[in-house]
Amino acid sequence: MNANDEKPRLIIDMDEVLADTLHKFLFLYNRDYGIRMDIHQEPGKELHENLPEHLNGQWEIYAHQKGFFRDIPPMPGAIEIVKALQARYHVYIVSAAIEFRNSLEDKLDWLAEHFPFIPWTNIAFTGDKIIAADIMIDDRIKNLAHFPGRKLLFSSPHNLLITGYERVNNWQEVAKLLL
């Protein structure tokens, strides 16, 4: 991106990429409604589309609650591989968090706990991801579609039917491609 610095700029999403947000939703659906944690997740469907209809709007209620984003488990391998990526890339964490006012402090505290090696300069909470970078890893094609650089679609049940993107199924595959 920058004449006097050859490291490419890599931007990485949080939910369902760094953070196993689906697990947190399932934990709450299980706790509050007895939904099985291992409910079948139909490829191409959002999690809530696999649930009984009366729970349709519940995910948004959860996501707006203070604390929801604070104790989500990191994705397997994410911490070690992001740390390794920093040697070769300018790594930025970019989450479309502005939609959820109550997520902002939680997400910052979560990054401070699990990714303390990411400085504040390299974190962005956005609406639209209008970020200037070379590579983007994201599970949502709404974020990838208009990005002019290399796009890596991080697999999540909701995006499994999407074609036409370079796909990574887990952090080990990210490491294989980028390290």
63: contact with a copy of itself by CB under 8 A? no
Smallest separation, CB 108 to a copy of itself (Å): 5
Residues 120 to 149: which contact a copy of itself by CB under 8 A? 120-128, 130-133, 146, 148
Question: Is 15 part of the annotated catalytic residue set?
Answer: yes
Question: Of the listed 5, 13, 32, 109, which one is catalytic?
Answer: 13
**Is 12 within 8 Å of 94 (Cβ atoms)?**
yes
Residue 160 in the binding site for a copy of itself (CB under 8 A)? no
Give kind and range of the element (H or E) at residue 178: helix 171-178
Pairwise CA distance, residues 138 & 117, whole Å: 20
Amino acid at 115: F
Is 31 an interacting residue with respect to a copy of itself (CB under 8 A)?
Answer: no
Report the residue from 98, 161, 177, 179 that binds a copy of itself according to the rule CB under 8 A. Answer: 98
Q: From the list 99, 169, 176, 177, which residue makes contact with a copy of itself (rule: CB under 8 A)? A: 99
Q: Is 60 in the site for a copy of itself (CB under 8 A)?
A: no
CA dihedral sign of residues 125, 130, 132, 137:
positive
- Give the type of residue at 61: I
Is the separation of the CB atoms in 107 and 95 below 8 Å? yes
**Known catalytic residue: 32?**
no
Per CB under 8 A, residues contacting a copy of itself are 1-2, 9, 92, 98-99, 101-102, 104-105, 108-109, 119-128, 130-133, 146, 148
